[in-house]
Amino acid sequence: MLDLEILTPREALGRALADLGDMREDVVVIVADTGETTRAKLFAERHPTRFFNVGIAEQAMVGVAAGLAMVGFTPFALTFASFMTRAWEQARNTVDRLALPVRLVGTHAGFADAYDGPSHQMLEDLALFRVLYNFTVLAPADSCEVYKATTASALVRGPVYMRVGRDFHIPTTCHMYDKFEVGKAYVALEGSDVAIFTTGVVLPFAVEAARLLRDRDISAAVVHFPTVKPLDFSQVEKFAAATGAVLTVEEHSTHGGFGSAVAEYLAQVKPTKMAIMGLKSYGRTAKSPMELYQYFGLTAENISARAEELVRLR
């Protein structure tokens, strides 16, 4: 049996694609000279006739994926998230306007590629793809969720963008739930004083922050949103009403991302005291993603401190 906890996120992605290829002959994979780094090579090894490398040509990659979708295939197009944005025009004009079932997978997202510096650290992708009308946007937290989300994304009727990390992950969702459902949020911890909403890899930091808050007699709920769009509005509203204070945390810019999506909804249906934690600048070179989380303040200690401030302000 496959032990997802010991895989890296990109290994889980590659295994999920290879397994999908075993089950469905319509699944094809296209890469922009990134078969090794995205682990799409695992698909290529099993299904070489359904694997295509277009070279370092991301715009062509998305165009090829669109063409394959139009003749009945279910294409997954993979490259670094920072390079996927080169093809945003094609994603908008060809994929989104026609609502084609293309799955764009941006790997090495956020701080995953700490070593190559800010040019390779994509912190704006959720905003860019969330604004496209027909795209579903996914941000799984760990290898277990990457595998499940990849498999589930193949059933989505329209286009999908999914961001995936590289090697860093702290297994958190592996025993949280069994079945991944697109559009559903998952409750990691119940709480009554403040709700911490997360997406992507920062989930374990939020869980640890809630434990720190418990030592200060503050009850914090942690709700994980692996689907950024469509957002699980029922869970947003439920926990906003129950706590009166919402803190969103993401490995992404504070402009236009997950926190913005939550704020847009609450501002219209239930104005709530809230704060958005994320990044307000480009990244920087570091030895590891954890160094960058610490440098930019995305730690359990900082999350708990910001949540406590919100509780005091209610």
Active site (catalytic) residues: 58
d(CA 188, CA 220): 10
Residue whose C-alpha is closest to residue 258's, from 289, 298, 226: 226
Q: 9: closest CA among 49, 51, 37, 30? A: 37
Helix (H/G/I), strand (E/B), else coil: 291: helix
By the 8 A CB rule, do 77 and 102 touch? Answer: yes
Distance CA 50, CA 36 (A): 16
Look at the block and give the residue holding tokens 């958190």.
172
What are the CA-CA distances from residue 170 to residues 19, 51, 247 (Å)? 23, 30, 21
Q: Are 87 and 59 in contact (CB under 8 A)?
A: yes
Which residue(s) pair with 75 in the sheet? 28
